[in-house]
Amino acid sequence: MPDDDRQRWNARHADRGPTDEPARFLVERAELLPTHGRAIDVAGGTGRNARWLASRGLSVTLTDVADEACRIATQRAREDGVDLEVIRSDLTSEPLPPGPWDVILIHHFLAVEVVRAAPDLLAPGGLLLWCQPTVRNLERHARPARRWLLAEGELRELVATIDGVQVVELTEGWTEGGRHEAHLVLQAPAPGS
């Protein structure tokens, strides 16, 4: 990611500050999630989802490109009394930290490469959860811009190219919050299956 993009994200996080509530997408799938093991929050920003996962008993790593987001995530985890490993990383040019991961969360980060690599990064029985707005979202919202949106049906086409995992959920549509999103949950085979 170019330095000007990193600086833009740093400014955005500094102006906006932390958000405390975890994403509805994540909370609505709580019953699927383990309460122990390793989780990674990909491009996790100021850590709202990572802190929620850590509060449930997972050992959580957060990656983000913005120094300011990483600083805020570290500070908020300390304030919340949860352990959180924070890694500043540009996932457009660097790989994810090595697994195995029991949970890989990607929330509102266009990361097709990570989704393709997920089967090799997941622990047996591990879950990949991905929530990404689609181009239809532009009918109601000006942001995120087109370059950060999935084309309609793109997620289904991507999943068809991934072997070795079970599709737990694959949906696309308007959410209660008024956003048009694609939702994906993949699970690696459990031991002995």
CATH number of 3-187: 3.40.50.150
59 vs 35: CA distance, rounded Å: 9
pLDDT, residue 111, reads 84
Q: What is the DSSP string of 45-83?
A: TTSHHHHHHHHTT-EEEEEES-HHHHHHHHHHHHHHT--
pLDDT, residue 92, reads 82
pLDDT, residue 93, reads 84
Which pair of structure tokens corresponds to residue 5? 């993009």
30 vs 145: CA distance, rounded Å: 29
SS3 per residue for 144-171: CCHHHCECCCHHHHHHCCCCCCEEEEEE
pLDDT, residue 191, reads 80
3-state SS, residue 3: helix
pLDDT, residue 113, reads 87
pLDDT, residue 118, reads 85
Q: What is the pLDDT along the chain (193 residues), one digit of tens a residue?
A: 555 665 555 455 455 555 679 999 999 999 999 999 999 999 999 999 999 999 999 999 999 999 999 999 999 999 999 999 999 998 888 889 999 999 999 999 998 988 898 889 999 999 999 999 999 999 999 999 898 999 999 999 999 999 999 999 999 999 998 999 999 999 999 887 6
Domain extents in the chain = 3-187
6 vs 2: CA distance, rounded Å: 7
